[in-house]
Protein backbone atom coordinates (compact mmCIF):
# COMPACT_ATOMS: atom_id res chain seq x y z
CA UNK A 1 0.00 0.00 0.00
CA UNK A 2 3.02 2.25 0.40
CA UNK A 3 3.44 2.66 -3.39
CA UNK A 4 -0.23 3.53 -3.74
CA UNK A 5 -0.07 6.03 -0.87
CA UNK A 6 2.98 7.72 -2.43
CA UNK A 7 1.27 7.88 -5.83
CA UNK A 8 -1.86 9.47 -4.38
CA UNK A 9 0.09 11.91 -2.21
CA UNK A 10 2.27 13.10 -5.10
CA UNK A 11 -0.74 13.48 -7.41
CA UNK A 12 -2.71 15.48 -4.83
CA UNK A 13 0.31 17.68 -4.05
CA UNK A 14 0.35 18.79 -7.70
CA UNK A 15 -2.61 21.04 -6.87
CA UNK A 16 -1.25 24.52 -6.25
CA UNK A 17 -2.46 26.14 -3.05
CA UNK A 18 -3.71 22.92 -1.46
CA UNK A 19 -2.04 21.70 1.74
CA UNK A 20 -2.21 17.89 1.63
CA UNK A 21 -1.46 15.81 4.68
CA UNK A 22 -2.76 14.28 7.87
CA UNK A 23 -5.92 15.50 9.58
CA UNK A 24 -5.58 19.00 11.02
CA UNK A 25 -7.95 19.98 13.84
CA UNK A 26 -10.33 22.78 12.94
CA UNK A 27 -9.03 25.06 15.68
CA UNK A 28 -5.51 25.21 14.17
CA UNK A 29 -6.47 25.99 10.56
CA UNK A 30 -4.71 29.07 9.21
CA UNK A 31 -6.46 31.82 7.27
CA UNK A 32 -5.72 31.87 3.57
CA UNK A 33 -4.91 28.15 3.32
CA UNK A 34 -6.99 25.32 1.89
CA UNK A 35 -6.37 21.87 3.37
CA UNK A 36 -7.05 18.35 2.17
CA UNK A 37 -6.59 15.56 4.68
CA UNK A 38 -7.49 11.96 3.96
CA UNK A 39 -7.19 8.36 5.09
CA UNK A 40 -6.97 5.19 3.05
CA UNK A 41 -8.52 1.82 3.70
CA UNK A 42 -7.99 -1.29 1.62
CA UNK A 43 -10.08 -4.44 1.52
CA UNK A 44 -9.62 -7.69 -0.37
CA UNK A 45 -11.71 -7.86 -3.54
CA UNK A 46 -10.35 -10.77 -5.61
CA UNK A 47 -7.28 -12.93 -6.17
CA UNK A 48 -5.77 -15.53 -8.45
CA UNK A 49 -4.00 -18.86 -7.97
CA UNK A 50 -0.63 -17.12 -7.63
CA UNK A 51 -2.01 -15.06 -4.74
CA UNK A 52 -1.97 -11.83 -6.68
CA UNK A 53 -4.68 -9.83 -5.00
CA UNK A 54 -6.99 -7.10 -6.13
CA UNK A 55 -8.25 -4.64 -3.52
CA UNK A 56 -10.91 -2.01 -3.22
CA UNK A 57 -9.23 1.12 -1.88
CA UNK A 58 -11.40 3.72 -0.16
CA UNK A 59 -10.39 7.32 0.42
CA UNK A 60 -12.13 9.38 3.08
CA UNK A 61 -11.18 12.96 3.75
CA UNK A 62 -12.05 16.63 4.01
CA UNK A 63 -11.26 19.80 2.13
CA UNK A 64 -11.27 22.66 4.65
CA UNK A 65 -10.81 26.43 4.62
CA UNK A 66 -11.55 29.11 7.19
CA UNK A 67 -14.18 31.58 6.01
CA UNK A 68 -12.83 35.04 5.37
CA UNK A 69 -15.00 38.10 4.65
CA UNK A 70 -12.27 39.56 2.43
CA UNK A 71 -12.44 36.71 -0.10
CA UNK A 72 -14.97 34.46 -1.79
CA UNK A 73 -14.17 31.42 0.37
CA UNK A 74 -16.87 29.29 -1.24
CA UNK A 75 -15.48 29.93 -4.71
CA UNK A 76 -11.93 29.05 -3.59
CA UNK A 77 -13.11 25.80 -2.00
CA UNK A 78 -15.15 24.93 -5.10
CA UNK A 79 -12.12 25.49 -7.35
CA UNK A 80 -9.92 23.25 -5.18
CA UNK A 81 -12.68 20.63 -5.09
CA UNK A 82 -12.85 20.63 -8.90
CA UNK A 83 -9.06 20.38 -9.17
CA UNK A 84 -9.01 17.45 -6.74
CA UNK A 85 -11.80 15.76 -8.70
CA UNK A 86 -9.74 16.08 -11.90
CA UNK A 87 -6.64 14.58 -10.24
CA UNK A 88 -8.74 11.67 -9.02
CA UNK A 89 -10.18 11.16 -12.50
CA UNK A 90 -6.63 10.95 -13.89
CA UNK A 91 -6.11 7.96 -11.56
CA UNK A 92 -9.51 6.35 -12.34
CA UNK A 93 -10.71 7.16 -8.82
CA UNK A 94 -14.48 7.49 -8.51
CA UNK A 95 -15.29 10.31 -6.10
CA UNK A 96 -18.13 11.96 -4.20
CA UNK A 97 -18.06 15.44 -2.67
CA UNK A 98 -20.52 16.61 -0.03
CA UNK A 99 -20.64 20.07 1.49
CA UNK A 100 -20.83 19.46 5.25
CA UNK A 101 -20.12 23.03 6.35
CA UNK A 102 -21.83 24.14 9.52
CA UNK A 103 -22.06 27.52 11.18
CA UNK A 104 -18.57 27.36 12.69
CA UNK A 105 -16.71 29.61 10.25
CA UNK A 106 -15.15 26.74 8.31
CA UNK A 107 -16.02 25.59 4.80
CA UNK A 108 -15.82 21.79 4.69
CA UNK A 109 -16.26 19.39 1.83
CA UNK A 110 -16.38 15.70 2.72
CA UNK A 111 -14.61 13.55 0.14
CA UNK A 112 -15.33 9.86 -0.30
CA UNK A 113 -13.79 7.95 -3.16
CA UNK A 114 -12.85 4.48 -4.25
CA UNK A 115 -10.71 2.69 -6.80
CA UNK A 116 -9.82 -0.92 -7.53
CA UNK A 117 -6.11 -1.63 -7.10
CA UNK A 118 -4.34 -4.64 -8.63
CA UNK A 119 -1.10 -5.45 -6.83
CA UNK A 120 0.40 -7.48 -9.68
CA UNK A 121 0.84 -4.41 -11.89
CA UNK A 122 0.00 -1.58 -9.46
CA UNK A 123 -2.88 -0.61 -11.76
CA UNK A 124 -5.86 1.48 -10.70
CA UNK A 125 -9.16 0.81 -12.41
The total of structural domains in the chain comes to 1
Q: What is the CATH number of the domain that holds 82?
A: 3.30.2000
pTM: 0.92
pLDDT digits (tens, 9 = 90+) for 73-119: 999 999 999 999 999 999 999 999 999 998 889 999 999 999 999 98
Task: With cut-offs at 50, 70 and 90, classify the pLDDT of residue 1.
Answer: low
| pLDDT greater than 80 at residue 36 | yes
| pLDDT greater than 80 at residue 70 | yes
| pLDDT greater than 90 at residue 72 | yes
- Domain of 57? 2-124
Mean pLDDT of 60-69: 96
* Distance of alpha carbon 45 from alpha carbon 56, whole angstroms: 6
User: What percent of the chain has a predicted confidence (pLDDT) above 70?
Assistant: 99
Residue-level pLDDT at 52: 80
| pLDDT greater than 80 at residue 50 | no
Amino acid sequence: MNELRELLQSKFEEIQGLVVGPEIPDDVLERGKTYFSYTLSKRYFDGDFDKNFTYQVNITGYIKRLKDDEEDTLKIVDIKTDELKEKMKELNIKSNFNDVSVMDGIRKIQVTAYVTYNEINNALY
